[in-house]
Amino acid sequence: MKPFVNLIASALIIAAIFDRDVNCRRAASAAFQENVGRQGTFPHGIDILTTADYFAVGNRANCFLNISVFVAGFPEYTTSMIDHLVEMKINHWDM
Protein backbone atom coordinates (compact mmCIF):
# COMPACT_ATOMS: atom_id res chain seq x y z
CA MET A 1 0.00 0.00 0.00
CA LYS A 2 2.98 2.29 0.52
CA PRO A 3 3.30 3.33 -3.16
CA PHE A 4 -0.32 4.53 -3.12
CA VAL A 5 -0.40 6.39 0.20
CA ASN A 6 0.05 9.88 -1.24
CA LEU A 7 -2.47 9.25 -4.00
CA ILE A 8 -5.10 7.95 -1.57
CA ALA A 9 -4.45 10.75 0.91
CA SER A 10 -4.75 13.40 -1.80
CA ALA A 11 -7.97 11.91 -3.16
CA LEU A 12 -9.55 11.81 0.28
CA ILE A 13 -8.48 15.37 1.07
CA ILE A 14 -9.88 16.64 -2.23
CA ALA A 15 -13.21 14.93 -1.54
CA ALA A 16 -13.27 16.12 2.07
CA ILE A 17 -12.69 19.74 1.10
CA PHE A 18 -14.15 20.28 -2.36
CA ASP A 19 -17.09 17.89 -2.81
CA ARG A 20 -20.39 19.74 -3.11
CA ASP A 21 -22.28 17.26 -0.92
CA VAL A 22 -21.79 17.54 2.83
CA ASN A 23 -22.20 13.79 3.33
CA CYS A 24 -19.40 13.05 0.86
CA ARG A 25 -17.12 15.60 2.53
CA ARG A 26 -17.81 14.10 5.94
CA ALA A 27 -17.34 10.54 4.70
CA ALA A 28 -14.00 11.44 3.10
CA SER A 29 -12.90 13.21 6.28
CA ALA A 30 -13.85 10.16 8.35
CA ALA A 31 -12.00 7.85 5.95
CA PHE A 32 -8.93 10.10 6.11
CA GLN A 33 -9.10 10.05 9.90
CA GLU A 34 -9.46 6.27 9.96
CA ASN A 35 -6.41 5.82 7.74
CA VAL A 36 -4.34 8.25 9.77
CA GLY A 37 -5.24 6.32 12.91
CA ARG A 38 -4.71 2.83 11.53
CA GLN A 39 -1.88 3.30 9.04
CA GLY A 40 -0.08 6.34 10.39
CA THR A 41 1.52 6.91 6.99
CA PHE A 42 -0.59 9.76 5.60
CA PRO A 43 1.62 12.84 5.26
CA HIS A 44 0.82 15.44 7.95
CA GLY A 45 -2.24 13.41 8.92
CA ILE A 46 -2.64 14.59 12.51
CA ASP A 47 -2.01 18.23 11.58
CA ILE A 48 -4.66 18.10 8.87
CA LEU A 49 -7.17 16.28 11.05
CA THR A 50 -7.11 19.00 13.66
CA THR A 51 -8.34 21.44 11.01
CA ALA A 52 -10.35 19.25 8.61
CA ASP A 53 -12.32 17.12 11.05
CA TYR A 54 -15.83 15.73 10.56
CA PHE A 55 -17.57 18.87 11.83
CA ALA A 56 -15.30 21.45 10.18
CA VAL A 57 -15.99 20.08 6.69
CA GLY A 58 -19.72 20.49 7.26
CA ASN A 59 -19.51 24.15 6.25
CA ARG A 60 -18.71 24.51 2.55
CA ALA A 61 -17.47 28.09 2.84
CA ASN A 62 -15.09 27.04 5.60
CA CYS A 63 -13.78 24.25 3.37
CA PHE A 64 -13.03 26.51 0.43
CA LEU A 65 -11.78 29.55 2.33
CA ASN A 66 -9.95 28.17 5.35
CA ILE A 67 -9.32 24.43 5.29
CA SER A 68 -8.14 24.37 1.67
CA VAL A 69 -5.62 27.14 2.32
CA PHE A 70 -4.28 25.33 5.39
CA VAL A 71 -3.95 21.96 3.64
CA ALA A 72 -2.38 23.54 0.54
CA GLY A 73 0.45 24.65 2.81
CA PHE A 74 1.66 21.04 2.82
CA PRO A 75 3.54 20.36 -0.43
CA GLU A 76 2.30 16.77 -0.72
CA TYR A 77 -1.22 18.06 -1.34
CA THR A 78 -0.72 21.40 -3.10
CA THR A 79 -0.38 20.21 -6.70
CA SER A 80 -3.24 17.72 -6.58
CA MET A 81 -5.54 20.34 -5.03
CA ILE A 82 -4.67 22.95 -7.65
CA ASP A 83 -5.08 20.41 -10.45
CA HIS A 84 -8.51 19.44 -9.13
CA LEU A 85 -9.67 23.04 -8.87
CA VAL A 86 -8.46 23.90 -12.37
CA GLU A 87 -9.78 20.76 -14.05
CA MET A 88 -13.04 20.22 -12.16
CA LYS A 89 -14.22 23.34 -10.38
CA ILE A 90 -13.23 26.41 -12.36
CA ASN A 91 -15.91 25.82 -15.00
CA HIS A 92 -18.40 23.90 -12.87
CA TRP A 93 -22.02 24.96 -13.21
CA ASP A 94 -22.49 25.02 -9.43
CA MET A 95 -19.71 27.51 -8.72
CA distance 23 to 86: 23
For residue 95, being part of any structural domain is answered with: no
CA distance 82 to 12: 15
pLDDT at 86 over 90: yes
- CA 51 to centroid of chain Cα atoms: 11
**What's the total number of domains in the chain?**
1
Per-residue confidence band for 95, with pLDDT thresholds at 50, 70 and 90: low
How many helices (H) and strands (E) would you count in the chain? 6, 0
For residue 94, being part of any structural domain is answered with: no
- Its domain, for residue 20, covers 2-89
For residue 66, being part of any structural domain is answered with: yes
For residue 26, being part of any structural domain is answered with: yes
**Over the stretch 22-51, which tens digit does the pLDDT of each residue have?**
999 999 999 999 999 998 899 999 999 999
CA distance 37 to 56: 18
pLDDT at site 92: 67
pLDDT at 9 over 80: yes
pTM, rounded to two decimals: 0.91
CB 12 within 8 A of CB 41: no
Amino acid at 72: A
pLDDT at 93 over 80: no
For residue 12, being part of any structural domain is answered with: yes
